[in-house]
């Protein structure tokens, strides 16, 4: 547990002058004053993010800068308001009601942002789906949520088994052709054009549902993590104090809205703070990253360790070709931020990279390094003012400094999930120690109050910052005709954090070969998602299992890493 030297040079700017002071005096109630509902009593997070600015001094300020290899478009707050209003009216026309689930299965594009906001404006609950998902993953999520409507493209619609989804009544299709327009399929373009840019917004209760993100656990299907409008309180204030968003900032969050970072911090937080939001679509390489920063004069940049490691791999010379002088503040989330990356950031960008920690379930950042605080490389930082974090043993006792245990948060807080859709038992598991949310991460705290991440307690794999449940991949693997049994683990990887490795026992009559590995990999890719396909496959005659038949992933991991296998008393002979 050796710590390196803390980095004392502070980041310039900073809305949060003194962390200690803020902690002493913090009151969530004070934050509420920033919202128009504090005066009017009329609540809707999308209204606060867009319309409020359009109706005050920010009408003609650019809210969204979108670019990919083919498109470059800018939209002001007023235009965002009109586009999302139009989409809200499209939903009203087909009878979408408050509380209905409406899914968005789109690549990053302006239309994704218009529709997501429009859904929230009519009081429906939006479910963003990552564009890389294939049929099984899409079906599970739409089925579990009982989604009544879906916004997607012609290409992605091929992965939606509409006939098997009885609740799904409407598909709003981007790029639809005349022949598509039947059986509840509407043309996005036509409907948007016909719809009014004025919308009767659905005012809601702060505890009403707003967004649902499906995320992976170690067992069972992905869980629908349900968030309410009240989360905006924390999206806003963490944006101010952690993202350090200020008047005139140009902000870029590189995450896709299919993941929680891409909504909490790719949509709500920047717009609640009224800044210009940059979205880069498509796939892009290191040159594109720097070009985006330079071209739009990005001042605040939020990304992930896997991206920083990729940029580090592209070398320091590349950085010199670009003018990154506007970049004031850099942050990272999703997996442990290596001290090496922080050192590189200091040398090459002349900026500190501020790590922070949170999860889909927590809705917003809970632990962070702040611009005005010393950074200890390798540490996630300190709890947000108003948040109490602790290291607990399994009985709920607080552990002293440097002892590793469950990273736990005193519940509740404004952006905390309010349920797991259709699965109260799962929800309750997070709160098994009275008064605390148990994160599933292990960590320790040092004597200065900084938190240090140690690992996941369960088997959830974190590959390039994306959570993948081993069970979902194993289930897909055993659907392949050659696979009798499969066990999936995360294997440490210098670039991706972890990669997915599958151990497979073949059915009789099948023989190990590289072609078969390739075929199995493609099978998972096509059936589930590219990022869920195992990069490594190893064939075994049989897999280690408990007497009750559970695959012992911990034993697979020990084999892989040459570690002691631990207690094998429950293993089948
Ligand atoms: C926001 C997000 C959550 C899991 C979390 C932890 C890992 C996130 C981290 C980190 C080390 C950090 N994680 N931030 N590990 N240091 N700063 O990523 O949500 O996709 O739900 O993942 O990611 O294991 O439990 P989500």
Question: Which ipTM was obtained for this model?
Answer: 1.00
Protein residue with its CA nearest to atom 16 in ligand 1 = 336
CATH number for the domain formed by residue range(s) 41-227: 3.40.50.12780
**CATH 3.40.50.12780 intervals, the chain:** 41-227
Cα-to-centroid distance, 336 and ligand 1 (Å): 8
pLDDT tens figures, 316-328: 999 999 999 999 9
Mean pLDDT of 451-479: 88
Where on the phi/psi map is residue 318: left (φ > 0), alpha (ψ -120 to 50), or beta?
Answer: alpha
Residues within a 6 A CB radius of ligand 1: 215, 259-261, 333-337, 355-360, 380, 439-441, 453, 456, 462, 467
Cα 199 to the center of its chain, rounded Å: 29
Task: Determine the 3-state secondary structure of 389 from DSSP.
Answer: strand
Confidence (pLDDT) at 1: 44
Protein residue with its CA nearest to atom 3 in ligand 1 = 359
Q: Report the C-alpha gap between 239 and 235 in whole angstroms.
A: 6
Q: Report the C-alpha gap between 437 and 428 in whole angstroms.
A: 9
Q: Domain 460-561 falls in which CATH fold?
A: GMP Synthetase; Chain A, domain 3 (3.30.300)
Where on the phi/psi map is residue 566: left (φ > 0), alpha (ψ -120 to 50), or beta?
Answer: left
Helices 514-527 and 470-477: crossing angle, nearest 10°? 120
Neighbouring C-beta atoms of residue 423, cutoff 10 Å: 16
Q: Which two tokens stand for residue 42?
A: 């009329």
Q: Report the C-alpha gap between 164 and 264 in whole angstroms.
A: 31
Q: Which two tokens stand for residue 487?
A: 């066990």
Confidence (pLDDT) at 251: 98
Measure the CA angle with vertex 349, ends 463 and 495; round to 5°.
20
Confidence (pLDDT) at 101: 98
pLDDT tens figures, 340-360: 899 999 999 999 999 999 999
pLDDT tens figures, 523-565: 999 999 999 999 999 999 988 887 666 788 889 999 999 888 7
With a pLDDT cut of 70, the percent of the chain lying above it is: 98
Task: Determine the 3-state secondary structure of 361 from DSSP.
Answer: helix
Helices 286-295 and 305-314: crossing angle, nearest 10°? 100
pLDDT at 219 over 50: yes
pLDDT at 448 over 50: yes
Q: Which two tokens stand for residue 309?
A: 């490691």
Cis peptide before 107 (omega within 30 of 0): no
Cα-to-centroid distance, 245 and ligand 1 (Å): 22
Q: Which residues of 97-115 are buried (b: 16+ CB within 10 A; e: fewer)?
A: eeebbbbbbbbbbbbbbbb
Instruction: For residue 502, give Cα distances in angstroms to 242, 406, 471, 521, 536.
Output: 38, 28, 11, 10, 6
Neighbouring C-beta atoms of residue 2, cutoff 10 Å: 4
pTM for the structure as a whole: 0.92
Per-residue pLDDT band at 454 (split at 50, 70, 90): confident
Cα 167 to the center of its chain, rounded Å: 26
With a pLDDT cut of 90, the percent of the chain lying above it is: 84
Least confidently predicted of 5-14, 211-220, 281-290: 5-14
**CATH 3.30.300.30 intervals, the chain:** 460-561
Confidence (pLDDT) at 395: 95
Cα-to-centroid distance, 214 and ligand 1 (Å): 15
Q: Report the C-alpha gap between 540 and 529 in whole angstroms.
A: 24
Task: Determine the 3-state secondary structure of 499 from DSSP.
Answer: strand
Cα-to-centroid distance, 408 and ligand 1 (Å): 14
H or E segment to which residue 144 belongs: helix 135-145
pLDDT at 571 over 80: no
Protein residue with its CA nearest to atom 1 in ligand 1 = 359
Cα-to-centroid distance, 488 and ligand 1 (Å): 20
Q: Which residues of 279-305 are buried (b: 16+ CB within 10 A; e: fewer)?
A: bbbeeeebebbbbbbbebebbbbbbbb
Q: Are 224 and 212 in contact (CB under 8 A)?
A: yes
pLDDT at 271 over 70: yes
Q: What share of the chain is helix, strand, coil (3-state, %, to 5)?
A: 35, 25, 40
Question: What is the position in ligand 1's atom list of the atom closest to the CA of 356?
Answer: 17
Cα-to-centroid distance, 339 and ligand 1 (Å): 17
Question: What is the position in ligand 1's atom list of the atom closest to the CA of 213?
Answer: 21
DSSP 204: B
Q: Which two tokens stand for residue 482?
A: 């050659």
pLDDT at 253 over 90: yes
Mean residue pLDDT of the chain comes to 94
Q: Report the C-alpha gap between 55 and 61 in whole angstroms.
A: 11
Cα-to-centroid distance, 470 and ligand 1 (Å): 16
Q: Is the dihedral of CA 188, 192, 193, 194 positive or negative?
A: positive
Q: Report the C-alpha gap between 360 and 35 in whole angstroms.
A: 24
Least confidently predicted of 301-310, 387-396, 427-436: 301-310
Measure the CA angle with vertex 326, ends 325 and 327; round to 5°.
90
Closest CA to 537 of 565, 515, 509: 515
pLDDT tens figures, 473-502: 988 998 899 998 899 999 999 999 999 999
What SS3 string covers 98-113? CCCEEEEECCCCHHHH
Question: What does DSSP say about strands 497-506 and 483-493: parallel, antiparallel, or unpaired?
Answer: antiparallel
Burial class (CB in 10 A: 0-12, 13-18, 19+), 481: exposed
Among 217, 263, 269, 333, say which to mutate for ligand 1: greatest number of ligand atoms within 8 Å of CB. Answer: 333
Q: Report the C-alpha gap between 494 and 149 in whole angstroms.
A: 41
Helix runs in 315-463, H state only: 316-320, 339-344, 424-429
Which residue's entry shows tokens 């710590």? 3
């Amino acid at each position: 547990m050796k710590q390196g030297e803390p980095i004392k040079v502070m980041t310039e700017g900073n809305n949060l002058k003194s962390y200690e002071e803020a902690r002493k005096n913090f009151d969530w109630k004070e934050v509420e004053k920033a919202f128009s509902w504090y005066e009017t009593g009329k609540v809707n997070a999308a209204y606060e993010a867009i319309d409020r600015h359009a109706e005050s001094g920010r009408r003609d300020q650019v809210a969204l800068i979108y670019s990919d290899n083919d498109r470059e478009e800018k939209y002001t707050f007023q235009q965002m308001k009109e586009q999302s209003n139009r989409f809200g009216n499209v939903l009203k026309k087909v009878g979408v009601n408050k509380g209905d689930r409406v899914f968005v299965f789109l690549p990053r594009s302006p239309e994704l942002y218009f529709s997501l906001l429009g859904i929230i404006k009519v009081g429906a609950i939006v479910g963003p789906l990552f564009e890389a998902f294939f049929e099984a993953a899409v079906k599970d999520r739409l089925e579990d949520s009982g989604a009544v409507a879906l916004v997607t493209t012609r290409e992605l619609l091929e992965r939606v088994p509409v006939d098997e989804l009885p609740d799904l009544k409407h598909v709003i299709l981007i790029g639809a052709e005349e022949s598509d327009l039947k059986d509840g399929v509407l043309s996005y373009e036509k409907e948007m054009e016909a719809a009014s840019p004025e919308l009767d917004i659905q005012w809601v209760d702060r505890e009403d549902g707003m967004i649902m993100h499906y995320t992976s656990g170690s067992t069972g299907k992905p869980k629908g993590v349900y968030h309410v409008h009240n989360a905006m309180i924390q999206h806003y204030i963490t944006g101010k104090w952690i993202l350090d968003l200020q008047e005139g900032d140009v902000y870029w969050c590189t995450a896709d809205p299919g993941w929680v970072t891409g909504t909490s911090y790719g949509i709500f937080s920047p717009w609640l703070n009224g800044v210009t939001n940059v979205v880069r679509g498509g796939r892009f390489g290191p040159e594109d990253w720097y070009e985006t920063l330079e071209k739009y004069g990005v001042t605040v940049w939020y990304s992930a360790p896997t991206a920083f490691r990729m940029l580090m791999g592209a070398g320091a010379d590349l950085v010199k070709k670009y003018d990154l002088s506007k970049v004031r503040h850099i942050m990272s989330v999703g997996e442990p931020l290596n001290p090496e990356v922080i050192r590189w950031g200091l040398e090459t960008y002349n900026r500190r990279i501020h790590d922070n920690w949170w999860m889909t379930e927590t809705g917003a950042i809970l632990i962070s390094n702040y611009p005005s605080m010393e950074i200890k490389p390798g540490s996630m930082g300190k709890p947000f003012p108003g948040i109490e974090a602790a290291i607990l043993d399994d009985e709920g006792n607080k552990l002293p400094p440097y002892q590793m245990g469950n990273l736990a948060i005193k519940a509740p807080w404004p952006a905390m999930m309010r349920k797991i859709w259709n699965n109260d038992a799962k929800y309750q598991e997070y709160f098994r120690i009275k008064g605390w949310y148990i994160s599933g991460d292990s960590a320790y705290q040092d004597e200065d109050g900084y938190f240090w991440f140690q690992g996941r307690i369960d088997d959830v794999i974190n590959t390039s910052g994306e959570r993948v449940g081993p069970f979902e991949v194993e289930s897909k693997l055993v659907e392949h005709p050659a696979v009798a049994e499969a066990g999936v683990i995360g294997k440490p990887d210098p670039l991706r954090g972890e990669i997915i490795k599958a151990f497979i026992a073949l059915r009789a009559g099948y023989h190990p070969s590289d072609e078969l590995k390739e075929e199995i990999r493609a099978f998972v890719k096509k059936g589930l998602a590219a990022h869920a396909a195992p990069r490594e496959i190893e064939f075994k005659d049989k897999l280690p299992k408990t007497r009750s038949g559970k695959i012992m992933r911990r034993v697979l991991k020990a084999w892989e890493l040459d570690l002691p296998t631990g207690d094998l008393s429950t293993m089948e002979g």
